[in-house]
Structure 1
Amino acid sequence: MRYIGKIMRGLLILIAGGATVGALLAAFAYLYFAPNLPDVATLRDVQYQVPLKIYSADDKLIAEYGEKRRDPLRFDQIPPTLVHAFLAAEDANFYEHPGVSIRGLARAALELIKTGQKRQGGSTITMQLARNFFLSDKKTYTRKIRELFLALKIEKALTKDQILELYLNKIYLGNRAYGVGAAAHVYYGKNVHDLTVAQMAMIAGLPKAPSAYNPIANPQRALERRAYVLTRMRDLGFIDATQFAQAMQAPVTASLHGANVEVPAPYVAEMVRQDMYQRYGDRAYTDGFKVYTTINAGDQIDAVAALRGDLMAYTERHGYRGPEAKVKLAAAELDQWRAGVAKSPTAGGSGPGVDITAWDQVLDSHPPVGGLQSGLVASVDAKTARIYLSGGTVVTLGLSEVAWAAPYINVNRTGQDPQKVSDVLKPGDVVRVWQKHGRWSLAQVPKVSGALVALDPHNGGILALVGGFDYYASKFNRVTQALRQPGSSFKPFVYSAALHEGYTPATLVNDAPVVVKDSALEGVWRPENYERNFNGPTRLRLGLVHSLNLVSIRVLQSIGIDYALKYASRFGFDPARLPHNLTLALGSASVSPLEMATGYAVFANGGYRVKPYYISRIVGEDGSTLFQAQPATVCEPDCQTSTDRATPGMQPKSGATSTTLPATTTTGRAIKVVSSVPYVPAVRAISAGNAYQMTSMMKDVIRMGTGRAALRLHRTDLAGKTGTTNEQVDAWFSGFNSDIVTTAWVGFDDNQPLGHAETGARAALPMWMAFMGTALKGAPEASMPQPPGIVTVKIDPKTGLLAAPGEADAIFETFRAGHLPKADTPAAVSGTEATPQGSRGLTQQLY
């Protein structure tokens, strides 16, 4: 017994000595490391690297930029089951230990002694948090000691829930996902509250090794890890037996999800990205900014569809250029294919015995472009062709789906129309297909380009913008960067200048040959009308309606080039960039589609200059507003009673310094608005009467002129003008009602001709109509009311003079009060401010 007592005393002394030595070592380590430990108080105000997010005006995601996917959540926003899953996987005793688990460290030390390898770190969640925020991932004893002391400091500074919130938002979970909010979106395309127990367990299993247990890259190992987490959750009482059984049986449903983009507006997103980088530098991608644009989600979707449909229609009119590539298919492979299809003719099967891996590899080198998928022609006969698409899908095309594909010869010629499907397609052809009117059809990527932009004319807010067929195929933004000749769509600005100088819509101008000698035009210039005809004395209104070049040139000669250039600046054009010769009347300037839409907005809003903008509001990560647009706004007489649609920045009560708007308006085109923003009144550019008369004339362009195809929209509030340049290089249509102004452009980037008869009416107007038809569907008609100072009288359509009473062919025309044409007899006048009989009026007859 005495011997045993000595042994026990010796052990106690040894233990006490060891404890003392350990305490001394710990104290020494603390004194050594403590001065260099970071201040954990910074965790109270931690700033995550949160990506830049860009939204439409109606709060739909347009784009996300940043190296790290992160969606920070407050602790009370994280489902308890998800929290329990992480505790079960990483630190079951989290709420009991002081930040360091002695049991875990002992287990790690024993593993090190047994194997000589650092397989287990013994890290608690707090220690992992310390490492993620302050330390590297390098496995060294020094780092581990620092990690221990930091964990103890963190536990003193923060509550357990605060520590968990930081951890669950910071932890890396693979595929650029940081935190559980981002992981839910990346792997399942869901919010955390929509995850199943099995999905939560799958995410909770990732911190141990995000690449090894990734459910996308390694589904089998991910299942094993999920099973471990679920078992721990059951054993700890976090889930019951039924939940455990159901979750264990659940299949792997993870797949890679990008940002949940809801609005296809990549050209707008790039404009915003550049703007944000100029403002904030690299912080733009990490500081969690949210940018709300003026884009209307519905309008943007309609605009993309309108542009792509229009360019596809142009492409089909000009014939089939052939397959993108040809692949030699082995005879045995084709035999196996045909046998498989014969047994299982429905779409979705590739036939037994056929290795489609090589086929998928071929198609992978031809990624989708603008909604057009690549496909491999696997079998063809006279009536049908079977096209293999990536992933095993098979679609069948008949003659009607390839009937457009006459061979392309040049921009003005195609070959014979196909009589059989086999006239167009051959086995091994790599082609494009798309769903047209609900059916798969043969397609090809357009070589022609286009642009469409729509503005709110009351404040310049960009409602929709499409800079090309596919941003990812060409990032050149043709709305803002392409400088093209507008052709006759520029004429309204010249005609508006003429009205300001005293012309009236009834003024007669001689539509007759013009010969101009001008050194700037390299000698003698003999312009012609598009139809190469001459109409003699023509009213100004008809000159615009039928887009008569010779009338426009004579008008410009009369008012003077210098005056016209200065006047054009009222619409936002830079006179220095406009031609200083008579070709200005025919639209020989170089302007962008956005500049054209901005100019037409002056007519649409009753004569005010607005500046286009696309960023409505910038919000910081904490929800504070860092920037709020204050656009110059047309607001007459009171927006609260107006039927005009509202966009961010449009404010009521002209002249008010600040005001508050309701969350939405009640019109047919209502979208979200921002409240409590100072109202900045727009500056008048032209008179209300001038804008009204020009709008009236451009309504006639649609009613009976070059834009009459738009009558199919069955609206009387639309006005606009076509534009076509020499040799049909550019095709335009700009048009509007009082709520929205839209410009559409079609052309080749290298300025080659579009082809015979590809005028603005044929190439660009259908795009405009497709967009405006859907954008205005269900919206009430919106036209500018006749302003004071404008009167309507009956005139003789041949002379432009006041009509005699009872004249059978008399027509109504609008005039400024005081500028009525003369007449020998009194005329019937409608309006309250008609010029009395005998007062001075203007009658110009130019020959």
Structure 2
Amino acid sequence: MRCPRCGQDNVAGSQFCRHCGRKLPAPAKASPPATKSATKNTPPKSRRIRWGRVAALAAGVVILAGAGFSGYEFVKAARSLPQITNLVALNAAGQDSVVYDRFGQPVATLHLNTNRIDVPLNAISPNMQHAIVAIEDHNFYRNDGFDIRSIFRAAFVDLTHRSALQGASTITEQLAKTLYLHDNHTLTYKIQEFLLGLELARHYSKPQILDMYLNEVYLGDGAYGVDAAAKAYFNETPSQLTLPQAALLAGLPQAPSLYDPLTNYQLAKQRQWQVLQAMVKWGYITPQEATQAYHASLGLSPQTVAANTTIFPYPWYIQHVIHLLEGQGFTPQEIYDGGLKIYTELDPTVYNIAQNAVDYWMNYNFGVSPRTYPYHQAAVVVEDPHTGAVLAEIGGRNYVPFGEDYAIDAKRSTGSSIKPLIDYTPALVKGYTQMSVIQDVPIFQNVDGQAWWPKNDDHIYRGYMTLRDALAISDNDVAVHLLHDIGLNYGFNFAVQKFGLPLPASDLQLGAAIGGLNTGVNVYEMTQAFATFPNQGVRMAPLWVTKVVAPTGAVLYQDTPHGTPEFSAQIAYIMTNMMQRVLNPTPLPGIGPGAYPTGMSLGIGRPAAGKTGTNNGQADAWFIGYEPQLVVGVWEGNRLGEFPQYTIHGQAAFGDVAAGPIWQSIMEQVNQAENIPAENFPRPSGLVYVPNISITSGKIAGPNCPPNDIEGAWFIQGTQPTTIGHTHIKVKVVAANPKLLWQPGCGPAIQSVFLKPESDWHSGVPLPWDHIFWPPTQSCTPGQSPSPSPSGTPSSTSATSSSQSSTGPGPVPPSATLAPPPPSGTPSPGTTTKNSG
């Protein structure tokens, strides 16, 4: 055996080289020779996994990845670090935040100065100073603004979860966070908290930092700082705080609401004991003093802390801006006293017009209530549909500081205003057209105890109806038929996913087609949804605050317009075309008496579209409408929807009576005040106009279709009808009595045009209005002279008739539509016949 080091030969089987002493490799074990086939089929021998090396390699990768990720987060945090200012001056003076409108002009100043009075450290009881240091940062007087052991304890959890789950804040870091940062639990902000803590520790002494902290910290019940808290809980000054009182207050910063002694006394006492034990541990008091303090009376004497009750200008809008900023992680202290510049999309002119319109029309329709709140309320949202910018928001008739906002807080049944969102737009996307015909006949029976359901307020079933006519007069029966035909789940999910309506599963029932909702939605959500139409199918995210800037100039928050395409521009245009018909000032032809568009009195003298809505009993009234540049949503209703509404003039509070005039006033006045030019809705490519559509078949009008039943309409290319409709048919009747079918031996006959009976109608249910145009069902008796039709009785023919012998056709005269007598008088806007609009 040859030695691998010296090359000398050794006796076979030797373990060490006899020349140099090196350990020799073990000889290979002999094995029988393998056959060719065996060699081919024998799998290679697997190598043993060295798990120790794998674990070491994995640990190395984790360490490197953690170091890399930490480095990345550190650099990102350092780049956006706020600049340290004179914090002592900042703390002493307090910087009011300023709200700016969309034109960059200041419109309101926010402040919490009445909630906090700064006191010097020497005016704060040593009990309070010792208690807060013991429980929040026992190394406060020795550390450099951070606690290394706490940092290492929290770092592993934070890095492995990639978020700031563990806290390690010193008093200095907490002060930095309070003054400059938002507690949004990200690693970037935790790193910034650490870096700012170092800066504060470098620039200020420990007494200065503790002074600022005790005057800034939130201690619950609206109390910022020790002075306000001492008054709120004990009606004491900070210098008079006893050990039991100080220990209780020192436990509050961790969770002010949870440990509030006025609402959770037992939890507050448990937290107080934790503070007292910490004071014992770090040498501030003895165990006996801790026990005595725990059992001593707290002397609770609750006082109302003076709150910021100033009603700022444009209160509804600014109240919501404050709520939005709180949702982004800003604390009330930052929002009011942080010296922030808050840039919004508020348009003061639009806001004032909207508030005045609400006040005028609510007083006109319902009078001025002497109660604290009026029973009858109204709310408005005004939006730029192309950017999502909310220009104005009115939450009620009278503003109560941080009271109920009916534009955002009130969830109400929509009535028919939901029809474009849950019925008609989904149908168009599914392939229907605005001229698709639904048979308005009762087919649903005995629902909710009603003999026929759904039904319209005018109790008329009209027969053949195009979608656009049904939407214009807000026909309930057609809306329910349509949702049933396209699929309840499909229409419901479309409204939720494409229009963003937060409808719960409990609303998944056919009544939703006409706004029968258990939970309801608010006018803010409805306005957002309708804004999708003038924006060519793109639903924009609402935009209230565009930017928040710190006193240092650092941008703390920023938002820009962004939206999601939900359906095509062609679908949006067709829906707008249909909703323009809602504002048509004249009755609609060919569909029976009282066929008045529900918004016929609400035109604004330029192209506009919209939809009315009225809940059962007129408890809620809606109008959501728009022009190319502006969308306005209006809701009106009694406060809790608890009773039907009638105006002081005796009118039922339908959508066009109670909500429509508010919409109309806002649109007209904003257009004039802001010089908004009148524009047509832009028509996208891919559309085709067809001038000769039958409103009873939805197809190309045939030769028998009367002129009054022929209309033109826009279609998405490829969906326009190409075949002729045959809902009008010629039938041979007795010339002397067209109510009888002719047969041989009955004398002269004529060919008359009749309407085919609706296939969905069946015997035993109410007849649709257009049954007067159906063919006769009785035949004449041969050999008898038929009696002529009674004078003045409408004929059963719907269009044309021609004199004709029994042996063949004669010349056909021009057709003339036979319609029922018109209603006597045109109703005023307040008494217009309604369906549910």
TM-score normalised by L of structure 1: 0.48
TM-score normalised by L of structure 2: 0.48
Choose 1 or 2 for highest CA Rg: 2
